[in-house]
Structure 1
């Protein structure tokens, strides 16, 4: 039918034939460009908190260093009596081999995708809204003075710090996670270094922290779970805190009945967590539903 040479007498269709049909149906194969991550970004509590943060800064914008909205932006100095240096804490993960180089696309739509695959380098740094930025860093002379007062700055305590700064990096899978202890140690280092930043004298300092509520590590990810009963799942149980700090645990495998010992899958787990899920939902939607529950939140 498509001019392809048939190599057998069976009715199994070739990969080439299926690809041609997909193109006929308007599905095309193209380079896998950037797509947005989505888990948790638009939860009601996240949206509400984001609005509060934005409103706070808009109401006090005259206190901060800002940039003009031009092709060649320039710094606008604060007009308040006490100018503020805004430092933004940011954690970024860089993954290798996370997604395939190409993908099938229907029309102009591109599916969402989730984080979780590939080797990861995690960076925790501090961006500065000031002409000395974009990242916080001391000069060699300033850092030398800081080390004389705080000699412990030369000890990185197992974390990889960039020169003269509090920017830290770890390779997930080889090093520890950025947990509470690590982050507090990083901020202690930052506060010691800030004391010696000459350009910040006579300024107030405000720090906007990424994931400030907690920095607790989840030993499992939403991507560790499959949809159906009996599919592979290496997570034995999930746990979370509710109001009044009550600790809850849910087994991820059946402990009795006809499915005893089998993995529950996302549909069953979702129902046991009280979520509105069913077995007709696609995997991405199930993951989004489960990610809204405290058992899968890291903040």
Structure 2
């Protein structure tokens, strides 16, 4: 029975879900004892108490440590759950891709002019540096120098100095690629004689058409909206990060490592955030940073 108990502890502690407790072992021993001896349990007393089992666990080499780093949610190891974000909709991948972001912002840009309070205003959106926000269509290294060479796109869209979207066709009427050299002349860029490919790329990389402009910036330009990206790793320029930080702290502090408890804690964290009036502090910090 002792060997079975030790094997049971090893198997339970090897699992990724945090369901094993000191009270689990005496129940296992109790059930195994009556099963091995073919006896019927007549009262609620355990064959081996919880306190004795705690000593057994220490003898087996188990350690009692709190999981304070992060919560683990049952079901995370399932193949149909791709990430912890599946807590929103179990069984689905809820990360946003480029197209999701673009479609949501397009809807926002379309609605802004119709709000009475925003009439005759210039719109500026401040976004974090997530890849889904900063993804670009192409890079200058994707293009060849001479005609009929490679290019990853059919046309080049860029934002000019007036925040207007401009388009240059990469292919001519015969569907042959123009090459970087022809595009340089089309963009009125000065190209020295006997200019080599690397020199030409360096020259054109300074032009607005080849600067790293995201798809989101191009979409925003169509609706006269300007996009600003704050420096990376500066959460003070993004107040929503303060909310996520507070929510995760609240969840870690109050979780019991179960999925059902998580569903209860998420709205509680939001209510706690509002009750403590944390959002005005985040906005004040944001404006102080912007003005600085």
- The answer to which structure has the higher strand fraction is 1
- The answer to which structure has the higher helix fraction is 2
With structure 2 as the length reference, what TM-score do the two structures score? 0.30
Q: Name which one, 1 or 2, has greater alpha-carbon Rg.
A: 2
With structure 1 as the length reference, what TM-score do the two structures score? 0.30
